[in-house]
């Protein structure tokens, strides 16, 4: 038993060793387990798997996709938000007024601006309060400027209505309401021009009474379209006078367009038929058919033009694609009567109002659009080729109603 302390000592040492070993063993697995956890982290959090949900965001409605590669500055989000708005304003339903076009129109419409419009404006100038007699005074100016009884009454009726409802506070508001009325009447919608030339050839039949400017307008249109790179053919459908054919030939030469003609006194329908066939064979973009001037009251002549139209349809299905009535703005109310009878006889697709440069009245445009509901497509403002303008209601109204200080800005 003398060895007992030694035995106890050995046991104690072994116990301490076992204890130390136990803790050391416990600590080691913890350390080794930590390492794999760290290494496993990249696999655990696969970033690419999360990205699609971020990428979806730009496709949210109303939020256009902004390329993530672009530097994310404070400006970018704003720009991206403004994108749809830009797209919307690029296709406006409201008419856009071109300052350059308006400046040219003002010059061409100088006579009407100095006449009809100057007289109307004088009723408003220097007046803040609404003169109780203003509607009567306006009526007089409008009736003597070829607006026509029906259209004048309709416009004044609407203004009276707004005045009674106290919607117009002062003279400026009455002027603005009149301008709005004019825009409403003139803007008949529909195609602004046949510049698409979907049909090949697009056949345009020009009709109207004597001396209104049919042949000249054909020459102007041929110049314009030829300048646009279109192949133009002309048909001398006025077989009544040799001079009419020569007149068209002069334009044809100037433009470089082939003129299809018949013998003097030939059937105008036969010439139009042949021209349609020839223009088709030649691969022309457009065929302009001139016709003899005819009085809208002469039944036989109106029957003849109907026949010309039918013959063109025989030569080409769907043709003529345009039947344009040319009216002389200087003939005032007579222009309205002509237009009404031609519309009854033929399905008109548009009206060309010529010689607007030669009248101080000019109100006839309102009457034509309001009463006939046939869109004015072009207006003639002089005799030269470049004096034909596509009719844009907003530009026309601005040229007539715009203030003089706008004129200086537009010039």
Ligand X SMILES: Nc1nc2c(ncn2[C@@H]2O[C@H](COP(=O)(O)OP(=O)(O)OP(=O)(O)O)[C@@H](O)[C@H]2O)c(=O)[nH]1
Binding positions for ligand X, rule: CB under 6 A: 208, 210-216, 238, 244, 293, 354-355, 357-358, 380-383, 387
- Which of 112, 145, 152, 215: binder of Mg ion (CB under 5 A)? 215
Task: Please identify, among the stretches 82-90, 154-162, 214-222, 324-332, the one whose residues bind Mg ion according to the rule CB under 5 A.
Answer: 214-222
212 binds, among Mg ion, ligand X, none (CB under 5 to 8 A by kind): ligand X
Helices (H) and strands (E) in the chain, counts: 17, 8
Q: How far is the CB of 224 from ligand X (least distance, A)?
A: 14
Q: Which residue lies nearer to ligand X by CB, 155 or 292?
A: 292
CB atoms within 10 A of CB 240: 18
280 near Mg ion, judged by CB under 5 A: no
Q: Which residue lies nearer to ligand X by CB, 181 or 238?
A: 238
Q: Among residues 144, 187, 208, 191, which one has the least CA distance to residue 343?
A: 208
194 near Mg ion, judged by CB under 5 A: no
If phi > 0 it is left, if psi is from -120 to 50 it is alpha, else beta; for residue 213 that is left
Q: Among residues 219, 220, 320, 229, which one has the least CA distance to residue 279?
A: 320
Chain center to CA of 85: 19
Contact 292/237 with Cβ under 8 angstroms?
yes
Q: Is 75 helix (H, G, I), strand (E, B) or coil?
A: helix
Alpha-carbon dihedral angle through residues 82, 86, 87, 92, given to the nearest 10 degrees: 140
Contact 208/338 with Cβ under 8 angstroms?
yes
Instruction: Provide the angle, in degrees to the nearest 10, between the axes of the packed helices 242-255 and 214-227.
Output: 20
Q: How far is the CB of 182 from ligand X (least distance, A)?
A: 21
Task: Retrieve residue 19's tokens.
Answer: 């204890």
Q: Which residue lies nearer to ligand X by CB, 327 or 393?
A: 327
Q: How far is the CB of 380 from ligand X (least distance, A)?
A: 2
Q: Which residue lies nearer to ligand X by CB, 156 or 376?
A: 376
Q: Which residue lies nearer to ligand X by CB, 213 or 332?
A: 213
**Site string (231-270) toward Mg ion, x via CB under 5 A:** -------------x--------------------------
Q: How far is the CB of 110 from ligand X (least distance, A)?
A: 12
Q: How far is the CB of 309 from ligand X (least distance, A)?
A: 17
Q: Cα angle at 202 between 199 and 207, to 5 degrees?
A: 145
234 binds, among ligand X, Mg ion, none (CB under 5 to 8 A by kind): none
Q: How far is the CB of 325 from ligand X (least distance, A)?
A: 11
Q: Which residues lie near Mg ion (CB under 5 A)? A: 214-215, 244
């Amino acid at each position: 038993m003398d060895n007992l302390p030694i035995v106890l000592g050995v046991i104690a040492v072994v116990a301490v060793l076992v204890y130390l070993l136990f803790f050391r063993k416990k600590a080691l697995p913890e350390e080794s387990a930590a390492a794999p956890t760290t290494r496993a982290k990249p696999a655990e959090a696969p970033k690419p798997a999360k990205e699609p949900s971020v990428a979806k965001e730009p496709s949210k409605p109303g939020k256009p996709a902004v390329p993530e590669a672009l530097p994310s500055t404070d400006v970018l989000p704003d720009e991206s938000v403004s994108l749809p708005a830009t797209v919307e304003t690029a296709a406006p339903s409201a008419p856009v007024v071109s300052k350059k076009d308006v400046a040219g129109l003002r010059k061409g419409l100088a006579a009407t601006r100095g006449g009809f419009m100057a007289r109307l404006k004088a009723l408003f100038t220097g007046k803040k309060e609404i003169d109780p007699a203003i509607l009567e005074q306006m009526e007089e100016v409008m009736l003597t400027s070829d607006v026509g009884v029906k259209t004048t009454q309709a416009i004044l009726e609407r203004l009276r209505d707004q005045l009674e409802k106290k919607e117009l506070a002062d003279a400026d508001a009455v002027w603005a309401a009149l301008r709005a009325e004019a825009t409403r009447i003139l803007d008949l919608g529909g195609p602004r021009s046949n510049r698409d030339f979907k049909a090949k050839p697009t056949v345009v039949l020009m009709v109207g009474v004597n001396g209104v400017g049919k042949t000249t307008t054909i020459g102007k249109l041929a110049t314009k379209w030829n300048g646009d790179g279109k192949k133009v053919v002309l048909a001398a459908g006025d077989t009544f006078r040799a001079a009419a054919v020569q007149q068209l030939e002069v334009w044809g030469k100037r433009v470089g367009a082939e003129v299809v003609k018949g013998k003097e006194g030939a059937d105008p329908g036969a010439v139009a038929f042949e021209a349609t066939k020839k223009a088709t064979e030649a691969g022309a973009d457009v065929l302009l058919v001139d016709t003899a001037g005819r009085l809208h009251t002469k039944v036989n002549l109106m029957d003849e033009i109907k026949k010309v139209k039918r013959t063109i349809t025989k030569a080409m299905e769907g043709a003529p694609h345009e039947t344009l009535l040319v009216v002389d703005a200087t003939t005032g109310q007579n222009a309205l009567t002509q237009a009404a009878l031609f519309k009854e006889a033929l399905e008109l697709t548009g009206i060309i109002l010529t010689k607007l440069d030669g009248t101080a009245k000019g109100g006839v445009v309102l009457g034509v659009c309001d009463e006939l509901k046939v869109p004015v497509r072009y207006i003639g403002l002089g005799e030269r080729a470049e004096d034909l303008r596509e009719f844009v209601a907003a530009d026309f109204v601005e040229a007539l109603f715009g203030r003089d200080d706008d004129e200086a800005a537009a010039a």
